[in-house]
Amino acid sequence: MPLLEVKDLKVYFPIRGGIMGRIVGYVKAVDGISFEVETGETVGLVGESGSGKSTTGKAILGLVPLMGGQIIFDGEDITKYINKNRSPYRKSVQMIFQDVYSSLNAKKRVLDIIAEPLRNFEKLTKAEERKRVDELLAIVGLTPDNALKYPFQFSGGQRQRIGVARAIALKPKLIVCDEPVSALDLSVQAQVLNYLKDIQEEMNLAYLFISHDLGVVQHMCSKLMIMHRARFVETGPSKIIYDEQVPHHIYTRRLLSAIPDTDPDMRQINEDRRIKVSKEYEEDHDKYYGPGNTVYDLKEISSGHLVALP
């Protein structure tokens, strides 16, 4: 039984017009996607800005209203009470946010930031709370004296580690990682990703890892879901998605061709490949997208590998 099962998830935002502000249409941010996440598994959700991937993560946590669909967590349908603040689901699913600067309250000390979920769900004494915060800081490579500092006293990488410590405070089963390293330098990215992998092994966590960077996702995920225009264009095991010999959706090929390569000898080869894929995208666009640039339904082309094709 999967830890998280999402069925036909839809998130539409209303468009209002006229003097009375009536709803005249909808922006379809997420339009009927389904997927599963197993215990201890890292599933990557990849797409460009505006594809709907962050909205998907927020919908799973109940941070945006659902237009339709079903969310099943640990065998229980939690769709109806997903936005209840004190529900057990809120304790079991946490989030690491993309913006390391606005996701931490600048007026609070690190002690209070990390202890906030503990104060909401667990009844600890001051001594027990401080001990727990020190343990969480140690897990992410920070010393206990950092608990009395404020967010502005830390670098971007250190702030994100504080965000990780807050996310694991309640020992959740699933963490939604919303582009957790996109705002960090490359060396700091690797550091934070390694902390996430170590914590996953120690706590048997499941991650829904949201990113626009297939290079970063390759380091973390066993399964990938490629999202474009509010729907999945391709899903499957990472090894299959990254295998250039396997037929891919044209959008997936565009993402793969954009992965930077540090080998100078490959510069011209990679540039030629990007030009070829871009030309194919323009010429064969109608083969991969329906009327109104809609994404087709997924079809299985091999075991566990699905592609949106007509």
**Which strands make up the sheet holding 93-96, listed edge to edge?**
93-96, 174-178, 206-211, 42-46, 223-228, 231-237, 305-308, 298-302
Domain carrying residue 267: 4-308
Q: Is the pLDDT of residue 66 over 90?
A: yes
User: Any residues with CB less than 8 A from the CB of 193 and at least 6 apart, and which?
Assistant: 181, 216, 219, 220
Q: Which tens digit of pLDDT belongs to each residue from 73-130?
A: 999 999 988 877 667 888 999 999 988 888 999 999 999 999 999 999 998 999 999 9
Question: 306 is written with which tokens?
Answer: 């699905």
Whichever domain contains 226, its CATH number is 3.40.50.300
Q: Which tens digit of pLDDT belongs to each residue from 174-184?
A: 999 999 988 78
Count of other CB atoms within 10 angstroms of residue 13: 13
If pLDDT is split at 50, 70 and 90, which confidence band does 229 have? very high
Q: How many angstroms separate the Cα of 224 from the Cα of each of 2, 166, 219, 262?
A: 16, 26, 12, 24
Number of domains in the chain: 1
pLDDT of residue 131: 96
How far apart, in whole angstroms, are the C-alpha atoms of residue 38 and residue 40?
6
